[in-house]
Structure 1
Amino acid sequence: LVEKGPARRDRLTEKDAVLITYGDQVTEPGKRPLVTLTEVLEAYVANAITVVHLLPFFPYSSDDGFSVIDYTAVNPDLGTWEDVERLGRRFRLMFDAVINHISAQSRWFQGFLKGNPEYADYFITVEEGTDLSMVVRPRALPLLHRFRTAEGEKWVWTTFSADQVDLNYANPEVLLRIVEVLLFYVEKGAEIIRLDAIAYLWKKIGTPCIHLEETHRVVKLFRAVLDEVAPHVLLITETNVPHEENVSYFGNGYDEAQLVYQFPLPPLVLHAFHTGEATRLSAWAAGLTTPSDETTFFNFLASHDGIGVRPVEGILSPDEIQALVDRTLAHGGYVSYKTNPDGTQSVYELNISYFDALSDPKGGEPLDLQVRRFLTSQAIMLSLAGVPGIYVHSLFGSRGDPEAVERTGHHRAINRAKFRRDVLERELADLTSLRHRVFYPYRNLLRVRAAHPAFHPNGPQQVLSLHPAVFALLRAAPDGSERVLCLHNVSGTDVEVRIEPRVLSSAGVLRDLVGGGTLSAGKITLEAYQTVWLGVE
């Protein structure tokens, strides 16, 4: 392993955008899915997407890949390591490290059940009747499950499900094995490693078992190892929790993750469009900071999971969060819950495609209006300081798949449909289709962003108060060479804003980077759900 790539602060630039996708997202007869995926991405997203986040592509037993049987193998149903490496020759790669837990079918856990001494301390057993009421639960499922072992029945720690068995990081051997896994991913081309569900890593009875100091120390260890032998590789932590807890994984800015998921963004953007006001979104964005120029946010609006609502606790009121829940249900979505320490349940996430969350599939609105609303939501995400992560179903304009929920019994299936290549390409070629109307303007937004240094992940940003219905963001290049004023109307009516010449340091002609055309500073009318990014002509 040797260092490669640019200096640390320039490992991610305005040119970078991440596509989040499954390895078998696009299939066709007679060809391995990873090969098909590579061909489709090469054909359609060149010069728009630079990083591909391959959701877990390992052999697995449940949870669409997040119950890994073998950390070091490629699921043969998807392809081979050679296929992964081929994708990596065209795009930078982001891998999942699903290391809080491992499949109950894995060799490690099966060895534990059979009494193999090598795996005796790989998992966490608890005496029946132990008080675990303080443990924070991300699911409405039992924390412990009973397994029959060679030494009798044992209660084993399972944070997420009976098939996802938590690893015991108090055992140094486990920690070393996982470090080896991370280094193996680096050898196979990973430049970004996502630490899945990392907040729950360390367990200590009598504590909430979330965000423990020992967990942060493990992240620091991973960072130190990678900085030493593969400093081009970045860590990103996935912690679907309130904002202050989330950003704690930046550490001091130099010793933990370089990226953290921007979890409050999806529900806040939804709230803005549902209410027609950007006030809450603007107030929150105005307070965003990072601890160093080696850290930045991973901005996203949709993913393979649902839209988490815990991250906006303390930002939106309980009534405002309930309004998001009600709108989700009205638009044909679902709601998932978590169990609280007192045994009650509260909303954990909203399960719905982001397009449907914004526009009721049965609402009868003109499709063009729905598309404009959706694209402006995405433009807000793309304009913010950080690196954008675009879920494949957002880029290709997918609606939800409620039939998949009925078929599988899992709420998250609503946003995990797969594409047949011939159908996808036919719909992309159809000028009247939803996919065509979303994909090509979205790709244009990505290319515009990549062409302007003002969108650098660490470039400064300033939220402007121009109108309650407008999310206005002034971006600037780190070296001050360029400014871009990003205007987003989150309401269904036209609004007028006034742009002072000093905002862009120019009294001259301004250019609309997205729509083309020129205009002058002064009063500007934004149409319903319109995006305008202004640069100096």
Structure 2
Amino acid sequence: MTGFTRGRNLRQNETMRRAPESVHAIADEALAAAPADLRETFGLRLDRWWADLRDGLAGVYSPEDADGLGERLVRLAAAAFLARDPELRRLDAERTLAPDWFQQSDMLGYAAYTDRFGGTIAGVQDKIGYLQELGVTYLHLMPLLRPRPGDSDGGYAVADYRTVREDLGTVADLTTLATALRHSGISLVLDLVLNHVAREHEWAEKARAGDERYREYFYTYPDRTMPDAYERTLPEVFPDFAPGNFTFDDDLKAWVWTTFNSFQWDVKWTNPDVFYEYADIILFLANTGVQVLRLDAIAFMFKRLGTNSQNQPEVHFITQALRAVSRIACPAVTFKAEAIVGPTDLVHYLGQGNHHGKVSDIAYHNTLMVQIWSMLAARDARPAAYALRNLPVAPSTTAWVTYLRCHDDIGWAIDDDDAAALGLSGRDHRAFLSDYYSGVFPGSPARGLVFQYNPATGDRRISGMAASLNGLESAIEQNDSAALDLVIGRMFVAYAMVLGWGGIPVVWMGDELALTNDLHWADEPGHENDNRWTHRPSMPWDLAARRTDGTTPAGRMFGVLRHLIGVRSGLPHLHASVAAEIPALSDPGVLPVLRRHPVGPMLQLYNVTDSWRSWPGDRLAEFGLADGIDQISGDAVRPGDEGNVWLPPYAALWITAG
């Protein structure tokens, strides 16, 4: 009997066994050539995560399929564990000992397209110093795995998950970059598209060639009977240029499910082979050094007749099982849910009920993003306060990803019930926001573009850089210094809310320089029908070289943002395990955010208007902050003679005990 086996028997006697003996036997066989310490480590992880894996699979597949798939996945995880670089194994150990690494207040994300930021993967590596100057600890490079030729939905129509776009570099380059970033204290984040593959992907090509095994990777129908039945309750994602959710394929001689575009084929997660394929891809990417996987289009993964086929319960079972496989082989890897869904569905992607803390580790706080833009347009914090206050509390082991802009359009996820509770019409408020940010509303300085107008619902999503949506072009054209001050003020208070919420704040490339819309977005082939490219400009490195010039909008914004980031990094109050609370408002134009950390309370006050607003001084004492200090300015916060604290236009205060 080996020492490893004796140790396992001891654990069983102490009722610590979680994985059955048959599963450990599979692992023992797969790891027979490995040193004893590695076998022991893998066995401990298997015990820890087996229940999550088995329960996740059981929520989707039959008992027989779940058992067979579970055994295959253990072999797969063991092989990936053996192939893992020793430096990555050390990172696994570090992250196991410090599982809250991504919840720390010094976390700062940055998101960019590789070609538009550095030209190539190697070019991004040359810019690590710039990222470090800003304080970045998390770099999200937009889709860089090989897409289909031509229009690829910005890279989200993936033709091969195991190769890199040829013009960007190779997988070896990606591994080198991940290593260099890791040595610089920066985690690499990549997209993993879970809902669909390109029509040109190997699976789809084999299906089109008549391979029945791969045809079962997709939803295909010989006629319109089932597609029409599904369509009765399915929304359209791109009603302008990709209406409907099914496409007839001449090679298949069948209708195939295509939620997003005709060239993006939805995969069938009810097939255990599809799950196995994606688990293999996750472990492959993990072993290149990727530390965070952004699970793209996760809300759409499971289909159910009579529903909108979004946010189905099986999505969370699938994610739980994928996460468990990852934890067994490479626990340094973190899952991020890209779930741009309604407020009531959002928190489920961080785990509720039986999935509490077992699905994605981090998720986009789409509600906060939308409510920030709503506050800036309406100069009113009441709808935001109501919506944010009524969100369920996320598990304390998870973190929100907060952001002002991303690569995508802005959809106005304003809940009708939330609006009605305040006597508002959700539809009317969404229409107002679209009018305001497209510059149609009287007095609006915004320069956004309408994306995907849906006449059936009236919805109009918006494209545009943050500075453009806040009116920078208008201020420059009018040579209006006061208007420019207000633009910088709006950017300041917006990013203060993003940075002050807790979790991982992410800066969209160019926001740190107040970049405006790319007016030539339609000139590139394949972009002409997609105005989201207006907020995906190339990085003007000549402008970035002058980022310390405080006389320019770029220099002012860089200085403002860098200061906020520096202050944030030193505040334990912003650890993501501490929930943000929304106290009662004292002024409709001031959003209060309270954080009750063991080191003491922190009250944040955000004036979302262009006028002076007050906050009652006695409420500082209510929160234990009568002698508070604003951490952003370093000044004491004291009420005036009339008993109020006064906030200038677009002010932000982060108040802690003095």
Length-normalised TM-score, structure 1: 0.91
Deviation by residue 1:307-338 (Cα, 9 ceiling, x = unmatched): 12135443342211111010122133222337
1:246 aligns with 2:333: no
CA distance in 2, matches of 1:282, 1:142: 36
TM alignment of 1:458-537, pairs within 5 A: 458-464=577-583, 465-477=585-597, 480-500=598-618, 501-503=620-622, 505-508=624-627, 510-521=628-639, 523-537=644-658
Q: Structure 2 residue aligned with 1:34, among 113, 121, 146?
A: 121
CA distance in 2, matches of 1:534, 1:232: 34
Deviation at 1:176, TM superposition (A): 0.3
Q: 1:135 to 1:462 in 2, by over 3 A?
A: closer
CA distance in 1, matches of 2:214, 2:164: 23
Q: What letter corresponds to residue 482 of structure 1 in structure 2?
A: G
Which structure has the highest helix share of the two?
Answer: 2
Q: Structure 2 residue aligned with 1:334, among 446, 449, 456?
A: 449
Q: 1:114 to 1:333 in 2, by over 3 A?
A: same
Which protein has the larger Cα radius of gyration, Structure 1 or Structure 2?
A: 2
Q: Structure 2 residue aligned with 1:123, among 214, 218, 226?
A: 218
Q: 1:428 to 1:193 in 2, by over 3 A?
A: same
CA distance in 2, matches of 1:104, 1:460: 43
Q: Structure 2 residue aligned with 1:176, among 268, 272, 276?
A: 276
CA distance in 2, matches of 1:148, 1:23: 35
Deviation by residue 1:15-41 (Cα, 9 ceiling, x = unmatched): 1121111112324xxxx6223323324
Q: Tell me what 1:391 maps to.
A: 508
Q: Tell me what 2:32 maps to.
A: none
Contact 1:11 1:232 in 2 (8 A): no
Contact 1:293 1:458 in 2 (8 A): yes
Deviation at 1:94, TM superposition (A): 1.7
1:380 aligns with 2:497: yes
1:103 aligns with 2:198: yes
SS of the aligned residue for 2:127 comes to helix
Q: 1:386 to 1:115 in 2, by over 3 A?
A: same
Q: What letter corresponds to residue 369 of structure 2 in structure 1?
A: P
Which structure has the highest strand share of the two?
Answer: 1
1:400 aligns with 2:517: yes
Q: What letter corresponds to residue 234 of structure 2 in structure 1?
A: V
Contact 2:204 2:215 in 1 (8 A): no
Deviation by residue 1:211-241 (Cα, 9 ceiling, x = unmatched): 2233222112112222333333222211222
Q: Tell me what 2:461 maps to.
A: 349
Q: Tell me what 1:292 maps to.
A: 395
CA distance in 2, matches of 1:346, 1:260: 28
CA distance in 2, matches of 1:313, 1:393: 33
Contact 1:136 1:210 in 2 (8 A): no
Q: What letter corresponds to residue 250 of structure 2 in structure 1?
A: R
Q: Tell me what 1:439 maps to.
A: 558
CA distance in 2, matches of 1:38, 1:440: 24
SS of the aligned residue for 2:510 comes to helix
Q: What letter corresponds to residue 594 of structure 2 in structure 1?
A: L
Q: 1:424 to 1:180 in 2, by over 3 A?
A: farther
Deviation at 1:107, TM superposition (A): 2.1
Q: Structure 2 residue aligned with 1:15, among 90, 103, 106?
A: 106
Deviation at 1:75, TM superposition (A): 1.8
Q: Tell me what 2:249 maps to.
A: 147
1:136 aligns with 2:251: no
Deviation by residue 1:488-514 (Cα, 9 ceiling, x = unmatched): 111111122223352453544x33321
CA distance in 1, matches of 2:508, 2:656: 28
Deviation at 1:89, TM superposition (A): 3.0
Q: Tell me what 1:58 maps to.
A: 145
Deviation at 1:191, TM superposition (A): 2.3
Deviation at 1:112, TM superposition (A): 1.8
Deviation by residue 1:371-425 (Cα, 9 ceiling, x = unmatched): 111111111121113321221232332111243147522121111111143x233
TM alignment of 1:252-331, pairs within 5 A: 252=352, 253-316=356-419, 317-330=426-439, 331=446
Q: Which has the higher mean CA deviation after the structures are superposed, 521-530 or 274-283?
A: 521-530
Unaligned runs of 5+ in 1: none
Contact 2:218 2:257 in 1 (8 A): yes
Deviation at 1:244, TM superposition (A): 0.9
Unaligned runs of 5+ in 2: 1-80, 82-88, 420-425, 440-445
CA distance in 2, matches of 1:329, 1:37: 33
Query: In angstroms, what is the RMSD of aligned CA positions?
Result: 2.4
Q: 1:427 to 1:506 in 2, by over 3 A?
A: closer
Q: Tell me what 2:296 maps to.
A: 196
CA distance in 1, matches of 2:555, 2:157: 35
Q: 1:506 to 1:431 in 2, by over 3 A?
A: closer
CA distance in 1, matches of 2:391, 2:246: 38
Q: 1:255 to 1:270 in 2, by over 3 A?
A: same
CA distance in 2, matches of 1:68, 1:89: 29
Deviation by residue 1:238-267 (Cα, 9 ceiling, x = unmatched): 122211122222233222222221112222
CA distance in 1, matches of 2:266, 2:112: 25
SS of the aligned residue for 1:350 comes to strand
Q: Tell me what 2:569 maps to.
A: 450
Contact 1:335 1:347 in 2 (8 A): no
Aligned residues: 524
Q: Tell me what 2:266 maps to.
A: 166
Contact 2:629 2:635 in 1 (8 A): yes
Q: Structure 2 residue aligned with 1:74, among 164, 187, 193?
A: 164
CA distance in 2, matches of 1:432, 1:129: 62
Among all aligned residue pairs of Structure 1 and Structure 2, give the percentage whose two residues are the same amino acid. 23
Contact 1:240 1:311 in 2 (8 A): no
CA distance in 2, matches of 1:420, 1:496: 40
CA distance in 2, matches of 1:247, 1:348: 25
Q: 1:250 to 1:202 in 2, by over 3 A?
A: same
Q: Structure 2 residue aligned with 1:222, among 314, 322, 327?
A: 322
CA distance in 2, matches of 1:397, 1:172: 47
Contact 1:282 1:463 in 2 (8 A): yes
CA distance in 2, matches of 1:484, 1:291: 19
Q: 1:291 to 1:426 in 2, by over 3 A?
A: closer
CA distance in 1, matches of 2:292, 2:371: 26
1:87 aligns with 2:181: yes
Contact 2:493 2:652 in 1 (8 A): yes
Q: 1:313 to 1:53 in 2, by over 3 A?
A: farther
Length-normalised TM-score, structure 2: 0.75
Deviation at 1:302, TM superposition (A): 0.8
CA distance in 2, matches of 1:315, 1:439: 36
Contact 2:447 2:471 in 1 (8 A): no
Contact 1:95 1:193 in 2 (8 A): yes
CA distance in 2, matches of 1:312, 1:361: 31
